[in-house]
Structure 1
């Protein structure tokens, strides 16, 4: 079986398991992950952090986003441009500058938001479907994050966030897949 087929099967299995997780457990685990993110020195030292607005059954990092803003950090959220298969980050100023994007994810409205200066990016909190302890990450299949990260002139600190049930022995990797520096689950913080 080729890498794409293996990824597709793994993606389906993990997303079904995540969907089956009780809402209360998802909330409890999300809160634990947010606490660990706030305690991470590399994130605490970052001036500009690109995060994401969780959707569907994803881990909810919104408490981390709000706390980072309160402690004076610049938060960026990506806008998805499907026609170009790319992400464009904008400075997050508050919920009034968000709108639902093409995938139903809340993202910056380019009319109301200021595009971020990529030279200032210090860290990225990365979503995904499956992760491994060696920095492997598998997203939703569009390649948006891999393309975005590969195009940056300077590599920021990259930390994935997931429920522990999303961590597998080894994520199938392809040459274009970007490795993460760390991973946070409700069980702890792992760095490679």
Structure 2
């Protein structure tokens, strides 16, 4: 089977399974994953972390974001420029500076937020549909994160964050796919 078709089939299956997760479990698993992320030594020691605003049935990482901000860490959220097919991170100070983006995802409003200095980035919490324990990540198919991550120098800590049901044996990978350093789920942090 064609690699793109395999990816699309896996993407559809995981998205449907994730949507079917009961709300009570989604809240419990999200809280546990956020605790594991907050306790991870390198994430806890990071000065600047790029995160994302959860969308749809994604794991809710807002508790992690609030804890990081409370302990003095700088949090960045990405603005998606669809026409240019890229992400630009902005410093996140609070909900007041967000607007709904083209995909319905809450993202920084450039009129209210300050663009982040990429040289200060220590870690990135990366969203995705599926992950494996070898650093593989499959996103939503737009390539926004792979393009963004490929341009980071020096390379920060790259961590996927998801429900354990999003971990698969092997994510189909292509040459442009950027590998992750670890994945955190409700069951803990897994080094890749």
Deviations 1:7-64 (A, max 9, x none): 0000000000000110110000000000001100000111000000001000000000
Matched with 1:88 is: 88
Tell me whether 1:33 sits opposite 2:33 in the alignment.
Answer: yes
Segments of 5+ residues of structure 2 without an aligned counterpart are none
When normalised by structure 2's length, the TM-score is 0.99
1:166 maps to 166
Listed as ranges, the gaps of 5+ residues in structure 1 are: none
Corresponding residue number in structure 2 for 1:154? 154
1:7 match: secondary structure: helix
DSSP-derived class of the 1:175 partner? coil
> Which residue is equivalent to 2:131?
131
Secondary structure of 2:180's match? coil
* TM-score where L is the length of structure 1: 0.99
Deviations 1:66-123 (A, max 9, x none): 0000000000000000000000000001110000000000000001100000000000
| 1:19 matches 2:19 | yes
1:113-167 per-residue CA deviation (whole Å, 9 max, x = no partner) reads 0000000000000110000001100000000000000011210000101111100
Aligned to 1:179: 179
CA-based RMSD of the aligned residues comes to 0.5
Which segments of structure 1 move beyond 6 Å, counting only runs of 4 or more? none
**d(CA) in 1 for partners of 2:70 and 2:21?**
30
Q: SS state of the match for residue 80, structure 2?
A: strand
Deviation at 1:187, TM superposition (A): 1.2
Aligned match of 1:45 = 45
Report the 3-state secondary structure (helix = DSSP H, G, I; strand = E; otherwise coil) of the residue aligned with 1:183. strand
> Does residue 1:104 correspond to 2:126, yes or no?
no
Deviation at residue 188 of structure 1 after TM alignment: 1.5
C-alpha distance in 1 between matches for 2:98 and 2:112: 8
